[in-house]
Amino acid sequence: MQLKIYQEDAIADLLDKAKKLLSADGGKKLVFKAPTGSGKTIMMAEFLKQLVDDKEVKQPLSFIWAAPKKLHIQSKEKLDNYYEKIRTLECSYFEDLNDRKIAENEILFFNWSSVNKKGTNTIVKENEQEFYLSKVLERTREEGRTIVLIIDEVHYSSGQMDKKEKSAALQLRKDIDPSLTIEVSATPIFEGDYDVKILVDDVKKEAMIKKSLVLNENFVNVFKEGKIKTELGEKKFDKDSEKTVIGEALKKRAELIKSYKKEGSNINPLVLIQLPDRKGQREDELKDKVIKILKDDFNISTEKGNNKLAIWLSGEHINKEDVEKNDSEVEVLLFKQAIALGWDCPRAQIMALFREWHSPIFSIQTVGRIMRMPEPDRGIYYGEEILNYGYIYTNITNVVIDKDVAPGYVSFLTSKRIDKYEPINLVSVYPKRHREKTRLSPRFIEIFLAQAKADSLKSKIDKTAKKVDIKIISDYKASDIDTLAGSKIVGDKSITVSDADLQKLFDYFVRNSLRLFYPEDRSVNRVKESIYKFFEKELKMDYSEKWEEIVKIVLSDDNPQRFLNVLDKAQIEYKNETEIREGELAKLDNWNVPEVLSFGSDYTEEARNKSVMKPFYVKYLSELEKSFTEFLDNSGKVEWWYKNGNRDATFFAVPYDEDKTPFYVDFVVKFKDGKIGLFDPHGTQFSDFEPKSDGLQKYIKSENKKSKNLFGGLVTNTDQVNYNGRWVYFTENSKEFKKGEFKNWTDLEL
């Protein structure tokens, strides 16, 4: 699979730090913190592969992968699938172990909480066969292998549970006594000797998770003393509170369906209704009530011919089989938190919770179920902005966002564009993400295939050559040590090549082919993928079925040099192309003010009559910015104004710095005479004043040649202290700029 940039970087960081800790004295801890939806398991699978392949790691390794509840089963299935073709590591349950020990490069999977149940659990309970955990570990160490423990998903949550989880995790580490412990979680509980952390923003840049989660959209939400008081939790909704929550969730689902159709995407968005984990009469009554509301008021049921409702409760699984598929007919899933730990369903986009849930705290384990994007391989967000968010509806009175959720990720302040807005269709830019020049991106595969065709590689290689001949030096004798100087000693005895040898020879060949790039694992894997793709396209050979045959063809007779010739030319072409594209910006021809924006607790509401977004929420970065907002709002010439953001294609930007960097201009202003103003309140003391000013003026002049009606510039006030002077903007070339002087500035008379 194609790893994302942040995933590759995290794997490289994990590998570097794990090697350092393994070379130190035992008992070290490495903490890997990665947000829900970032692909923790896949990153760990690739990291472990690279760890056991790394030549700097001298000691043989055995692994234990421990996870809560049944999550270890899911993790094993993912790693089994990942290693199916490369056969680097073996994944086993306890009963699968050969010779009652963990082999080299073998991963033992089990439920981590089970080690505390010494009296009953078969893994830890002593028996006559001496097949229990402590004995297995003893035999493994006797074989000279170093044990690495991976503790997966130890979640910090409020109340008594976190104490139990932490106690169990600590006991697990004590019982196993590994040389290295790696804790993998969105919310780690250990402190590590080293940490590797992935930021939510890095995952969002790759469009792997939603931009944010919106709480009770269309209802008034007030943030006070760390709690969100929502209108949907007020007494006026008490009579039909659950019905209102469900109705809002289904209304949003209908809106999402329309937008997915506009995108040409066959996604059927799923509503999750989460019931309390507790068992009792009240919980059973709530379940029955919800099922009745869904059937009577919304025609959603588990009945044959309807099948729009799925139920996933203890002892009750209905219509659950294909619910994870993007085009499943199931519209609503009723479930409990405990049942769904570690469960992935990327089409889940809306969540409904009721106050009987007992906890007002939204942790990552609650909201994480709707964080994933349904089509992560797109690599970019949808044009239909509504699809880039998850939605939560609840009648819980005072909601608390737990500290394990990234600050601001749950948005409860929603602002909408005014109805009378007419499109302005501005050209906007946003940054393209380029991989570093030192590594190969997926684009290399296309270049290699094109070069292979241009060089007629298919007709040049000997497709029948499938013998890899390795000779070793045997019984060599020299009468005098001095005669060896400058001599070339050639192997004289052929040996049989195993699959493992073949893999190492192929790796060595690929690494040596990377003349223009450092042979790191990411680039090595890209070259392998290019070769596999060549055989698949040109010779109809699937490497998953014919890997050994493919590698033998590549390495046999004269074929290696023929492949090296193509690889060398492809690297030169890739390097040239990368240097040209290094500073490229993507262009959007018809940018408009977003229909909806969402904000978190660090934003406040202000009464602004002419804001195009209602209500207007703001987080000012300077007093200059605030004063300019007041100036615009009090102008009789302004029809509306928009305070811009500063990320991706959502917000408006012009190119500057030799057209390499996006400049997100603070204000877009629509005037009553039809003109569009672009203004950025910018302190004249900042070093980027001149390049940004030139970039904005260049953009305005260029667009006006295409019949646009734009004006504006970097703007400031002649009173640099109280902002009671004239508002002026700069339109001259930056060479004419003189700090502290406003003679050649233009008055902004509004």
- The tens digit of pLDDT for each residue in 363-388 reads 666 788 899 999 988 878 888 889 99
DSSP line for 676-692: EEEEEE--TTSTTHHHH
Per-residue model confidence (pLDDT) at position 161 = 43
Cβ neighbors of 517 (< 8 A, separation 6 or more) are 438, 439, 440, 523, 571
Q: How far apart are CA 394 and CA 221, in angstroms?
A: 12
Q: Which residue did the predictor score with more confidence, 493 or 726?
A: 726
Give the confidence band of 650 by pLDDT, cuts at 50, 70, 90. confident
Per-residue model confidence (pLDDT) at position 434 = 52
CB-based contact 462:558 (threshold 8 Å): yes
- Tokens at residue 374, please? 């349904």
| Rounded mean pLDDT, 293-308 | 94
Cα 170 off chain centre by: 29
> H or E stretch including 275?
strand 270-275
Angle (deg, nearest 10), helices 521-539 and 559-581: 120
Q: What are phi and psi of 663, to 5 degrees?
A: -110, 110
Cβ neighbors of 62 (< 8 A, separation 6 or more) are 102, 103, 104, 105, 106, 108, 140, 145, 146, 147, 148
Answer left, alpha or beta for residue 396, where phi above 0 means left and psi between -120 and 50 means alpha: beta
194-220 b/e with 16+ CB inside 10 Å = b? Answer: bbbebebebbbbbbbbbbbbbbbbebe
Per-residue model confidence (pLDDT) at position 221 = 77
Per-residue model confidence (pLDDT) at position 659 = 83
- What domains can you pick out in the chain, each with its CATH number? 5-203 (3.40.50.300), 207-411 (3.40.50), 443-473+490-581 (no CATH), 587-747 (3.40.1350)
- DSSP bridge pairs for 184: 32, 152
**How high does pLDDT run on average in the chain?**
85
Residue 593 scores a pLDDT above 70:
yes
Of 104-108, 261-265, 368-372, 722-726, the least confident: 368-372
pLDDT in tens, 556-585: 888 999 999 999 999 888 888 776 655 578
- Pick from 627, 574, 326, 315: nearest CA to 441: 574
- DSSP bridge pairs for 731: none
Note the pTM of the prediction, 2 decimals.
0.72
Per-residue model confidence (pLDDT) at position 232 = 79
> H or E stretch including 655?
strand 654-656
- Tokens at residue 133, please? 């955990």
| Rounded mean pLDDT, 16-32 | 92
- Tokens at residue 39, please? 């692909």
Per-residue model confidence (pLDDT) at position 154 = 61
Secondary structure (3-state) at 646: coil
Per-residue model confidence (pLDDT) at position 167 = 67
